[in-house]
């Protein structure tokens, strides 16, 4: 049986809902994945072989039914089109992505537990997601876990990894926490890091640095636009 035959009778993206239609219950579940996405757009601006989804349904064939998605707060896939067919995806359907599953999924724990440490962990294990990141800044003591945990799929089982930021050679990025002051309000967020553990600055930080440099040049009598 060829691969196309396996997927022949499965629904298409036009037939499936975008997600499970359940609203997020705190703003971090929208903010943090989008911080990671916006930074990737800068870091990988010249690449077209990746996709990062936020609060989007992943349809797969390793669960109870292919019409039932798993919906992480964020996920990263490599080796797929940045824009599928030149258009935005409504959902991520593995059988329309040549069987490519996300290499990383992210779950942000909130006041209403969502099975991050058991049910979803098992779903991602069966799906074959290499890295599973659980961010739990508020309720980690309740859940008897650490605020930031990275699990790696090794020999078919997830093993908790040590170190932060945690370097992921298969992705070429590290991930970890940092203190942000977005809009002047201190807040802990997640960000990407390089192999040396240096955090990649956010687009806002890059703009602020550029403006400070321009101001110094002007103070020295130089025109930054001419350099």
Task: Judge whether 206 lies within some domain.
Answer: no
Give tens-digit pLDDT for 153-196.
999 999 999 999 999 999 999 999 999 876 677 889 999 999 99
Task: Judge whether 211 lies within some domain.
Answer: no
Task: Judge whether 57 lies within some domain.
Answer: yes
Residue 68 has pLDDT above 70, yes or no: yes
Enclosing domain of residue 172: 3-200
pLDDT of residue 1: 40
pLDDT of residue 209: 76
Task: Judge whether 35 lies within some domain.
Answer: yes
Give tens-digit pLDDT for 91-142.
999 999 999 999 999 999 988 888 999 999 999 999 999 999 999 999 999 9
pLDDT of residue 196: 98
Give tens-digit pLDDT for 22-54.
555 667 788 999 999 999 999 999 999 999 999
Task: Judge whether 210 lies within some domain.
Answer: no
Domain count, the chain: 1
CA dihedral 208, 211, 216, 222 (to 10 degrees): 160
Task: Judge whether 109 lies within some domain.
Answer: yes
- Measure the CA–CA gap between 72 and 104, rounded to whole angstroms: 10
Task: Judge whether 76 lies within some domain.
Answer: yes
Packed helices 28-43 and 203-219: angle between N→C axes, nearest 10 degrees: 60
Q: What sections of 75-181 are H helices per DSSP?
A: 119-127, 140-143
Where residue 35 sits, what CATH number does that domain have? 3.90.1570
Task: Judge whether 207 lies within some domain.
Answer: no
pLDDT of residue 213: 61
Read off the pTM. 0.85
């Amino acid at each position: 049986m060829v691969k196309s035959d396996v997927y022949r009778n499965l629904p298409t993206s036009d037939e499936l809902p975008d997600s499970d239609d359940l609203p997020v219950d705190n703003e971090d579940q929208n903010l943090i994945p989008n911080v990671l996405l916006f930074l990737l757009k800068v870091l990988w601006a010249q690449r077209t072989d990746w996709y990062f989804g936020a609060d989007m349904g992943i349809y797969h064939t390793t669960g109870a039914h292919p019409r039932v998605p798993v919906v992480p707060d964020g996920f990263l896939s490599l080796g797929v089109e940045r824009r599928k067919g030149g258009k935005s995806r409504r959902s991520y359907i593995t059988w329309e992505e040549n069987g490519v599953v996300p290499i990383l999924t992210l779950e942000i724990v909130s006041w209403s537990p969502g099975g991050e440490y058991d049910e979803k962990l098992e779903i991602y294990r069966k799906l074959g997601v290499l890295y599973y990141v659980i961010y739990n800044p508020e309720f980690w003591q309740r859940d008897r876990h650490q605020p930031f945990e990275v699990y790696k799929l090794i020999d078919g089982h997830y093993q908790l990894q040590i170190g932060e930021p945690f370097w992921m050679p298969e992705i070429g990025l590290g991930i970890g926490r940092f203190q942000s002051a977005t809009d002047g309000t201190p807040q802990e967020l997640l960000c990407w890091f390089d192999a040396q553990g240096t955090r990649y600055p956010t687009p806002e930080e890059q703009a602020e640095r550029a403006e400070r440099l321009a101001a110094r040049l002007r103070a020295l009598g130089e025109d930054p636009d001419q350099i």
